[in-house]
């Protein structure tokens, strides 16, 4: 059965992409992100169940439009999942990350040198770019978190603190993602964070 795109997800993606476009315009030459620059695609990071559903939907679309490319993605995903399962700080069967303090501490040092399995190693570009997680969509411009205003270490060289702050990206100002996640959990029972390699069906 095909994986439907989560309800409301297209609206969320449009909001985030519009925010990215605005931040990119304000950032000008300080933002050096471009196709083939894939440093941010190395190392695992937590994604939501909404991100995971979007990725699955994107892979199914790629299977229809470019089966050979989709097969390469699936091979990399399977290899990555096998490699990461042994020390995965969560349930390697479901792919859900453990939320305990001990597991979170383990996650900080987990697979930091492992490339994302949907990254094409030959081109340095994402094979599921249109379906990428929100973290990927917001990476590059200044984004505020608990640790302050963070930027990609390759960007904003020579910019002052004030100039960086003026380019801040408001990722999801209406908190739509949280609402969609709540609805998704109620509808499917899916809950908890995962990583890209664990987001796909075996």
The 3-class secondary structure across the chain, one letter per residue, is CCCCCCCCHHHHHHHHHHHHHHHHHHHHHHCCCCCCCCHHHECCCCECHHHHHHHHHHHHHHHHHCHHHHHHHHHHHHHHHHHHHCCCCECCCCCCECCCHHHHHHHHCCCCCCECCCEECCCCEECCHHHCCHHHHCCCCCEEECCEEECCCCCCCCCCHHHHHCCCCCCCCCCHHHHHHHHHHHHHCCCCCECHHHCCCC
Rounded to two decimals, what is the model's pTM? 0.92
- pLDDT tens sequence across 61-84: 999 999 999 999 999 999 999 999
- pLDDT tens sequence across 141-179: 999 887 788 888 899 999 999 999 999 999 999 999 999
- pLDDT tens sequence across 7-44: 899 999 999 999 999 999 999 999 999 888 999 999 99
């Amino acid at each position: 059965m095909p994986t439907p795109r989560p309800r409301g997800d297209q609206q969320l993606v449009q909001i985030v992409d519009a925010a990215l476009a605005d931040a990119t315009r304000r950032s000008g030459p300080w933002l050096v992100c471009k196709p083939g620059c894939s440093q941010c695609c190395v190392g695992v990071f937590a994604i939501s169940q909404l991100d995971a559903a979007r990725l699955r939907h994107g892979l199914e679309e790629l299977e229809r439009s470019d089966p050979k490319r989709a097969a390469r993605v699936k091979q990399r995903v399977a290899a990555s999942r096998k490699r990461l399962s042994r020390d995965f700080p969560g349930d390697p069967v479901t792919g859900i990350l453990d939320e305990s303090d001990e597991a979170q501490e383990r996650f900080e040092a987990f697979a930091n040198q492992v490339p994302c399995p949907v990254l094409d190693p030959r081109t340095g570009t994402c094979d599921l770019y249109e379906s990428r997680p929100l973290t990927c969509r917001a990476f590059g411009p200044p984004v505020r978190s608990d640790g302050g205003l963070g930027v990609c270490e390759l960007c904003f060289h020579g910019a002052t603190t004030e100039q960086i702050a003026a380019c801040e990206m408001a990722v999801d100002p209406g908190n739509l993602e949280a609402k969609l996640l709540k609805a998704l959990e109620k509808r499917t029972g899916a809950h908890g964070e995962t990583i890209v390699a664990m987001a796909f069906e075996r």
